[in-house]
Structure 1
Amino acid sequence: MISRLYIRFHLTLLGCLALFAFAVIMLWHRAGGPIEQADANLAVLMQNQLAPASATPAEQQAALERMAASIHARMTLYSANWQLIASAGTPIRLGGGWRVRLEPRPDSYVHLPDGRRLLSDQPLGVVRSHTLLHSLLILLTIGIAIAAYPLVRYITRRLERLQRGVESLGAGDLSARVAVEGKDEVAQLARSFNRAADQIEQLVTAHKTLLANASHELRTPLARIRLALELSMDSLDPKRKAGLEKDIAELDYLLDEILLASRLDALRDTVELEELDLLALAAEECARYDEVELNGVPVLMRASPRLLRRLLRNLLENAHRHGQPPAYVRIERDAGMATLTVWDSGPGIPPEEFERVFEPFYRRRGTRDNLGTGLGLALVRQIAQRHGGGAHCASMADGRSSFVITLPLR
Structure 2
Amino acid sequence: MDRGDILSGAAFSAVLRSAIAFVVVLVVFGWAALAYIEHSLIAELGDDVQQRWNIIASEHEDEEEGHLEAAIATVSRTTTGGHHAVALFEAADTLVVGNILTRPEGSGLQVGPLDHASVTPDDITREYVYFAGPVDENTLVVGLRLDLLYHTKILVFRALTLSGFLILLTMLSVGYLLSAKSLRRLKEIETALSKTSEGDMTVRIPENGGTTQIDRIARQLNQHLERLSRMVATTRNTAAAAAHDLKSPLGRAYLSLGKAMERVDQGADPTEALGDTQDELETMRVIFDSYLQLSRIEAAGEERMSDRVDLAALTADLVETFALIAEDEGQTMTFEEDAGQDHAIMGDAQMLQQMVVNLLQNAVTHGSEGNLITVRMRRAGGSVLFTVADKGPGIPEASKTRVFEPFHRLDPSRSKPGNGLGLALVRAIAEKHNGHVALADNHPGLIVEVTLPASGA
Q: TM-score, normalised by structure 2?
A: 0.44
The higher radius of gyration belongs to 2
**TM-score scaled by length of structure 1:** 0.48
Give the structure, 1 or 2, with the largest relative contact order (CA under 8 Å, sep 6 or more).
2
